[in-house]
Amino acid sequence: MTAALYALRAGKSVLLLEKSAFGGQIAESPKVENIPSIKSISGMDYASLIFDQISDLGVAFDMDDIKSVIKEDGYFTAKGEYASYEAKAVIIATGCKPRKLAIKGEETFLGKGVSYCAVCDGAFYEGKDVTVIGDGNAALSYALSLADTSRKVAVCTLFDRFFGEESAAKALLKRENVEVIHDVSATEFKGDAELRSILFKKKDGSSFELKTDGCFVAIGQLPDNSRFEGLVRLTADGFIQVDGAMATATAGIYAAGDCRDKKIRQVTTAESDGAIAALSAIAYLNKLETHS
């Protein structure tokens, strides 16, 4: 939507295609408090504000699931489940979704104790007991951040060690309010109106219940970029490779936000990517017009 905003303000014709709902992951967050100038807002309300803004500027939009994009005679054709759409430039902003545990209660307590972003939601658990599930750099980062404000942090890993940076793991083990529990797998989230505990299974088959006020799941991100494989270069884990202008391997195609290969995935960095991608696409279109 940020890319659409910039392109519309430059006088370009913009079609916004979405599979389900506008806003992406941020729309699922009950509270967002890391956007400059806005102290607190729900993700859905924030997404609605941007959508209203681009609607007033005349964005065209449609709901469709794009299956592929092809380039023919200088035009790109995005083929969806219901129709095909032509454009001279394309910005891919499909985002990615956090990898879920797929256990009982996960969807029930989403936003009610279960979160996939400690940067977004960690402040809501100040002085409380929290759990981090994961063993990579994201989990270590989440746990270190939460240890600064939460009363106690339990870090639960599937294997007998961490797979993130050694320095981060050592720093975490020095925290007095951090407990590391290795070799366990979560099997169920339990609670009432809010999350109250998590059931875990040990390697020996026995189970235990861990009381907690909140749980942060950090077991990876899942992009959905295989449909663009013929036009863009993908990393081994499926993220789109771009340059500083958000340009992909194909002239006229840009990528922005969480779907691209990057280290920091936040709402503000996604918006930054969108602005850069749009400005690059605008320059590309202007060059086409000059030479036509």
3-state secondary structure the chain: CHHHHHHHHCCCCCEEEECCCCCHHHHHCCCECCECCECCECHHHHHHHHHHHHHHCCCEEEECCEEEEEEECCEEEEEECCCEEEECCEEECCCEEECCCCCECCCCCECCCEECCHHHHHHHHCCCEEEEECCCHHHHHHHHHHHCCCCEEEEECCCCCCCCCHHHHHHHHCCCCEEEECCEEEEEEEECCCEEEEEEEECCCCEEEEECCEEEECCCEEECCHHHCCCCCECCCCCECCCCCCECCCCCEEECHHHECCCCCCHHHHHHHHHHHHHHHHHHHHHHHHHC
134-159: buried (b, 16+ CB within 10 Å) or exposed (e) per residue? bbbbbbbbbbbbbbeebebbbbbbee
Query: Which of 22-36, 114-128, 194-208 has the lowest average pLDDT?
Result: 22-36
As a whole number, mean pLDDT of residues 69-97 equals 95
Pinpoint the residues of the chain covered by CATH 3.50.50.60: 2-97+221-291, 114-217
Confidence band, pLDDT 50/70/90 cuts, at residue 25: confident
Give the architecture-level CATH label for domain 2-97+221-291. Answer: 3-Layer(bba) Sandwich (3.50)
pLDDT at residue 248 above 90? yes
Which pLDDT does position 265 carry in this prediction?
85
pLDDT at residue 1 above 70? yes
Which pLDDT does position 31 carry in this prediction?
75
As a whole number, mean pLDDT of residues 175-182 equals 97
Fold annotation for 114-217 = FAD/NAD(P)-binding domain (3.50.50)
